[in-house]
């Protein structure tokens, strides 16, 4: 499950970086402010992805990142959709991931 979660966060980081030029052109956001905010979000996603195998902290930080990316929609409206899609995938993974892990462990135990 941690690999899938890390993949989601990695792709989300790429989308965040690609949204910076859009934020600068569409909104009245200064370039430096957009890059700082995007950098903070990307850093949050990367730290979360890196800490997924070390316990619950990575998953909590990843969930916080999902909320933050959706809230970025107030600056770049398309992030409501893109962030919402990533958040949906993330929360589906959080919901069904443990069941998949238990089924996998049961198959391997047979």
Q: pLDDT tens per residue, the chain (110 residues)?
A: 888 999 999 999 999 999 999 888 988 888 999 999 999 999 999 999 999 998 899 999 999 999 999 999 998 888 999 999 999 999 999 999 888 888 888 888 87
Of 36, 33, 44, 39, give the one whose Cα is nearest residue 9: 44
With beta carbons less than 8 A apart as the criterion, state whether 106 and 25 touch. no
Q: What are phi and psi of 27, to 5 degrees?
A: -105, 170
What domain range includes position 64?
A: 2-109
With beta carbons less than 8 A apart as the criterion, state whether 96 and 4 touch. no
Of 9, 22, 12, give the one whose Cα is nearest residue 76: 22
Total number of domains constituting the chain? 1
Site of tokens 């009245």: 28
């Amino acid at each position: 499950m941690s690999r899938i979660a890390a993949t989601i966060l990695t792709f989300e980081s790429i989308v965040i970086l690609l949204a910076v030029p859009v934020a600068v052109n569409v909104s009245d956001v200064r370039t430096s402010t957009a890059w700082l905010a995007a950098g903070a979000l990307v850093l949050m996603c990367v730290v979360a992805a890196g800490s997924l195998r070390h316990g619950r902290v990575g998953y909590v930080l990843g969930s916080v990142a999902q909320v933050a990316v959706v809230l970025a929609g107030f600056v770049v409206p398309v992030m409501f959709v893109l962030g919402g899609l990533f958040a949906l995938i993330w929360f589906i993974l959080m919901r069904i991931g443990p069941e998949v892990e238990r089924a996998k462990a049961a198959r391997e135990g047979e």
